[in-house]
Amino acid sequence: MKPKIYVVEDEAITAGDIEQSLEKLGYDVVGVSASGEDALKQIKAAQPDLVLMDIVLKGKKSGTYIAAEIKQDLNIPVIFLTAYTDDATLLEAKKSEPYGYIAKPFTEADIRIGVDIALYKAKMEAERRELTSALKQALSEVRTLRGLIPICAACKKIRDDEGFWEHVEQYIEARTLAEFTHGLCPDCVQKMYPELFGTEPPED
């Protein structure tokens, strides 16, 4: 499926050029807005993979404010588009942690590079979050046996907290993620099958 891009740009001609460039590059433009208020509502419905956001917009809310809202509520990556490259603007833009910053006037190559890098970073971030979540889940399921464990010196059964005696395999499987497979150690093989070794079974 084509990556879905939403464009927020208050200059109609610029917005049209961006939309045309994105479609030419193989992206699916799922919406265009001129104001931050409209953009926030439409983006929630469209759920794009990336938002291209002008910093200066029509309406009461700036692009940096809308980008911060998108990050907090939707976790959708944003690239800023702007003609302002002064330190104050850049500092304000950094607060919403954008995935890129394309200065006007820009070329189609600038858009392609910016969008490709942002989508790649977003993919890596999603995989990292998924891996972190899986690791936390695995760690939450790991249980460790601690303390003194009463074990019978003869049959090797273990007494649980309620006073019942269980086979060691049952006790450990019920309290950890371990599972047992059964086999014979070399000493037991020689004791049980001495004919395989040409010896008499050892005396107990």
- Mean pLDDT of the region 145-169: 82
pTM score > 0.95 for this model?
no
Residue 103: band (very low, low, confident or very high) from pLDDT cuts 50, 70, 90: confident
The predicted structure's pLDDT at residue 62: 82
> pLDDT: is 82 or 79 the higher one?
79
> pLDDT: is 204 or 71 the higher one?
71
Domains of the chain: 4-138 (3.40.50.2300), 143-204 (no CATH)
70 near 47, Cβ under 8 Å? no
Phi, psi angle pair for 4, to nearest 5°: -95, 125
Percent of the chain at pLDDT > 70 equals: 91
Percent of the chain at pLDDT > 90 equals: 34
The predicted structure's pLDDT at residue 152: 84
Q: How far is the C-alpha of 15 from the C-alpha of 104, rounded, in Å?
A: 12
